[in-house]
A and B are shown apart, each in its own frame.
Chain A
């Protein structure tokens, strides 16, 4: 099946710094990528939808200036957490939708990135 990678798998940063998380589709072109956030023992909450070559669409309540998303190519999307604070600590998961995929729009998920802000 299709593979999506994320890098880094975990990161610890100091409060006030910025962190970039990469999401790559390894063997297919992803016209659409999604970024989710998961708090401990909770479900995934959609943060934003990014389409290659256009601005991301953010869900209500997600600060676009804090969570910068760039989808520069059909295989790479990045999420940058700017001026991170401890409350941004979470598990961030990306998924990619195959542009030539089924109408069901199956998404392939990355392994996630654990962000800890100290």
Chain B
């Protein structure tokens, strides 16, 4: 079984500040991990994913995430927030034996001017 926990349903940062969105997972098999962004009334857009190999993954829009197996974490970061980053962010996990994704509860990112 797999599960995802996103700490903090709401995160507010100032424009230009560091963005850190937390994600911890539970998986009985080596996981594939994903971060998606959702803008209001839209579907999900893939930001980045970890499958195998390098544990620091770079994605679109300046985001990156680091897979830490010892901490079962996959936190999302961006050095400098932009107003356009305001959205809902979902962490997701997929085990090798399951094709569907299991999503976390989401974190709403607010960017203050």
Give residues in A with beta carbon < 8 Å to B. 4, 6, 32, 34, 41-46, 49, 91, 93, 95, 97, 102-112, 114
Contact = CB atoms under 8 A, between A and B. Distances in A.
Contact of B94 (A6, A43, A104, A110): A104
Categorize the interface residue count of chain B: 20 to 34
A5 to B, nearest CB: 10
Contact of B99 (A32, A44, A110, A111): A32
B75 to A, nearest CB: 18
Contacts of A46: 100-102
A108 B46 CA distance: 8
A105 B105 contact: no
12 contacts: A6-B43, A34-B100, A44-B44, A44-B90, A44-B103, A45-B103, A91-B41, A93-B44, A97-B99, A104-B49, A109-B36, A111-B42
Interface in B88-106: 90, 94, 96, 99-106
Which 10 residue pairs are nearest across A and B when measured between Cβ atoms?
A109-B43, A109-B44, A104-B51, A111-B43, A104-B32, A43-B103, A43-B105, A44-B103, A112-B43, A46-B100
- Most chain-A CB neighbours within 10 Å: which of B99, B100, B108? B100
A95 B105 CA distance: 18
A110 B43 CA distance: 6
B80 interface: no
A106 B49 CA distance: 9
Given A105-B32, A111-B42, A49 B51 contact: no
A53 to B, nearest CB: 16
A41 B40 CA distance: 10
A42 B101 contact: no
Given A43-B90, A105-B32, A107-B101, A112 B106 contact: no
